[in-house]
Amino acid sequence: MSRSALVSNITAMLHDAGFVVSDRCVIRPKSFDLAARREDDLVLLKILGNIDAFDGATGAEMRRLGTYLDATPMVIGLRTRDEDLKPGVVYFRHGVPVLNPDTAMDLFVENVPPLIYAAPGGLYVSIDGDLLADERKERGWSLGQLASELGVSRRTVSKYEDGMNASIDVAIQLEELFDQPFSNPVEVMDGADEVHEAQPTPDDPEADPSDEHVVAVLTRAGYDVHPTMRAPFKAVSEDSDNDRRGRMHVLTGHSPFTRNAEKRARIMSSLGEVTRTRSIYFTEEQTKRDAVERTAIVSCEELAGIDDPEAVRELIRERTTEPAES
């Protein structure tokens, strides 16, 4: 299956699951392909045939964007170099959960989360330790007796009951012994932190030197500007003043106003609708355009002519479209 066909199939699946889906990000470089929202769940999706193409820099950017936009970064792919991705299993690449399309279908359409995750050494599940301890005691079994049944040490059983995850083989043995499952679902929409060692959010990259004058003006106006390296926008600018009419998040672009810039502004408009953010594009020259769809167009000359930081904030509020909450 071609990557384009795979993206189309995933988009259709998300629509069927009740998500609002952004336009595809067709500008390179790009850290993700689609943004999708269902109620309060926002997902940033990278879609790949071979997930080995997902590198560390892209993973770091997706994780940063997830923090800025309160979104879950996720990869949907078909295979690695060595094998096809298994259905019902969550993999990880550079701190980002990875699913195959069938697993994504179960999660998003059927609302059935996966139970298994891949980690060095094999496939594992998260055991409900409290339930296991209750069932063992109800049978009158000691830790040693259950350990003998499983072929593990007494200490290992104690760790299972304290919350240590188990191999899929042990999970199957437990289910057969007690005639019930003990596996907890993998909370993919929360980043699967309960089964994956949490990593700190990577630091912001340095702003492109050509963007420094825009960053400086926005910073003086009270925005925390988070530069990006591979997104279809140059930064996520966050209103750092919580007391002024509510907090704003603004997807921010900057370049001469070329055909490529107009395409970026359209993508930013679509992404803004889905991520519930405003979007603004700063151009190096005056243009006749006030906006591209819902992305405001403002020249750097106009921006530089405003000395009052509050006036910059008002300009952004007046020119940009307030995100819908639906």
Each residue's pLDDT tens digit, 131-151: 999 999 999 999 999 999 999
The CATH number that applies at residue 297 is 3.40.1350
Looking at the domain assignment, is residue 200 inside a domain? no
Range scoring the smallest mean pLDDT among 6-15, 105-114, 200-209, 267-276: 200-209
How many C-beta atoms lie closer than 10 Å to residue 40's C-beta?
A: 8
Asked, for residue 27, whether it belongs to a domain, the answer is: yes
- 75: in domain: yes
**What is the per-residue pLDDT for 326?**
47
Cβ contacts of 99-102, under 8 Å, gap ≥ 24? 99/74, 99/75, 99/188, 100/76, 101/6, 101/9, 101/10, 101/13, 101/76
Peptide bond into 114 cis (omega under 30): no
Residues 75-83: what's their mean pLDDT?
A: 92
Q: Are residues 215 and 253 in the same domain?
A: yes
Whether residues 275 and 311 share a domain: the answer is yes
Q: Say if residue 97 is in the same domain as residue 128.
A: no
Confidence class for position 192, pLDDT limits 50, 70, 90? confident
CATH of the domain at 155: 1.10.260.40
Residue 244 has pLDDT above 80, yes or no: no
**Dist. CA 115–CA 221, nearest whole Å:** 47
Task: Give every CB contact of residue 222 below 8 A, 6+ residues apart in sequence.
Answer: 239, 240, 241, 244, 309, 313
Whether residues 300 and 218 fall in one domain: yes
Task: Give the pair of three-digit tokens for residue 34.
Answer: 């689609």
Whether residue 64 is found in the same domain as residue 81: yes
pLDDT value, residue 246: 56
Give a yes or no: residue 202 inside a domain. no
How many domains would you assign to the chain? 3
Same domain, 214 and 314: yes
Q: What is the pLDDT of residue 304?
A: 85
* Contact present, 284 and 268 (Cβ < 8 Å): no
Tell whether 59 and 94 lie within a shared domain: yes
192 found inside a domain:
no
* Domain housing 290: 209-319
Q: Are 114 and 99 in contact (CB under 8 A)?
A: yes
Q: Assess whether pLDDT exceeds 90 at residue 74.
A: yes
Q: What is the pLDDT of residues 254-269, one digit of tens each?
A: 999 999 999 999 999 9
Q: Are 319 and 296 in contact (CB under 8 A)?
A: yes
- Domain final residue, candidates 114, 139, 164: 114
CATH number at residue 27: 3.40.1350.10
Mean pLDDT in residue range 41-56: 96
Dist. CA 20–CA 269, nearest whole Å: 14
- Single-letter amino acid, residue 82: D
* Amino acid (1-letter code) at residue 274: V
The answer to the question of residue 326 being in a domain is no
Banded pLDDT at 241 (limits 50, 70, 90):
low
Domain-located, residue 139: yes
Is 203 a member of any domain? no
